[in-house]
Amino acid sequence: EELKKLILRLHAGESEDVVKEDFRKHFGGVSSYEIAQMEKSLMQDEGLEIEQVQLLCSVHANIFKGSIDEVHTVNREHEKVGHPVRVMREENYALKNLLESLNNNVRVYLEDESEKYRMNVLTQMNLLWDIDKHYTRKENTFFPLMEKNGLTAPPKVMWAVDDDIRLLIKNFKLAIENKDTEDLLTNYL
């Protein structure tokens, strides 16, 4: 209930810094289960739509940053080669590295709009689109298990966020293909 009150304050427009400070005062940490239950309650009890929860998802993550107890818990089973949790984690690291490299290449392209640098960015964008496979596996593997166990809100929110990211990637790639550097500067950097 206290977590929900904090998040509702965010949704009402209160400063992220103020809410974050109150969170730190009242909580040493939270579990991923508590966050899932809070999201479920926001949608079921408070009537928030998935889009409303999703809209402030990154703000929620900033509030809880470094305080989620169970998210990074690893057991021996998860560490086995080929285990879905390990595969997802490794793919997340690879995606993070690709995004850092892509960011550098976009900056180079914006400084020198040559075809060579544009093609470097497009090549990396094609690699980045593999995120669709990553999200599809997550959505079809983990989400049904979560829903089966009564955790319905987080998969709905995460699926919507995944779809937003897919759209951002498509639009970003279109801007590169169309050599629309103004769009890149305005909307993506």
d(CA 79, CA 54): 30
Between 59 and 144, the higher pLDDT residue: 144
Of the candidate ranges 54-58, 65-69, 139-143, 167-171, the one whose mean pLDDT is the lowest: 65-69
Confidence of residue 150 (pLDDT cuts 50, 70, 90): confident
Q: What H or E segment, with its residue span, contains residue 28? A: none
pTM of structure: 0.68
d(CA 163, CA 157): 10
d(CA 167, CA 109): 22
Q: How is residue 30 annotated by DSSP?
A: B
Q: Exposed, middle or buried by CB within 10 Å (0-12, 13-18, 19+), for 19?
A: buried
State what percent of residues in the chain have pLDDT above 70: 85
Q: How is residue 70 annotated by DSSP?
A: S
On average, the pLDDT of the chain sits at 83
- Radius of gyration of the chain from Cα atoms? 19
Query: Looking at the predicted structure, is the pLDDT value of residue 67 above 70?
Result: no
d(CA 132, CA 134): 5
Of the candidate ranges 18-27, 60-69, 82-91, 135-144, the one whose mean pLDDT is the lowest: 60-69
Query: Looking at the predicted structure, is the pLDDT value of residue 73 above 60?
Result: no
